[in-house]
């Protein structure tokens, strides 16, 4: 459990630094991400971005889950 928390913490730090320095500017602006803006409403559905995150997370879990 301790190692898992350490890896999650390191991952959050890496994502935070990447976001701070603008390396994640593409996230949410991929083809397939839906955004709708009207006068009083803003709807954002990042379908493609979430598929990419899900695929990366699945690969990491598969890779680290092997024994």
Q: What ranges do the domains of the chain cover? A: 2-65
End-to-end CA distance of the chain: 16
Tell me: the pLDDT tens digits for 5-41? Answer: 888 899 899 989 998 998 888 888 889 999 999 999 9
Q: How far apart are CA 30 and CA 32, in angstroms?
A: 6
pLDDT at 66 over 80: no
Burial class of 33 by CB neighbour count within 10 A (0 to 12, 13 to 18, 19+): middle
Tell me: the pLDDT tens digits for 33-62? Answer: 999 999 999 999 999 999 998 998 899 888
Q: How far apart are CA 43 and CA 28, in angstroms?
A: 12
> pLDDT-based confidence at 67, cuts 50/70/90?
low
- pTM confidence score: 0.67
Q: How far apart are CA 54 and CA 57, in angstroms?
A: 5
DSSP assignment letter at 30: S
């Amino acid at each position: 459990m301790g190692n898992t928390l350490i890896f999650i913490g390191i991952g959050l730090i890496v994502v935070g630094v990447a976001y701070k320095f603008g390396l994640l500017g593409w996230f949410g602006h991929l083809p397939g991400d839906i955004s709708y803006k009207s006068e009083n409403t803003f709807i954002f559905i990042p379908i493609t971005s979430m598929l990419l995150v899900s695929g990366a997370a699945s690969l990491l879990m598969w890779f680290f889950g092997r024994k």
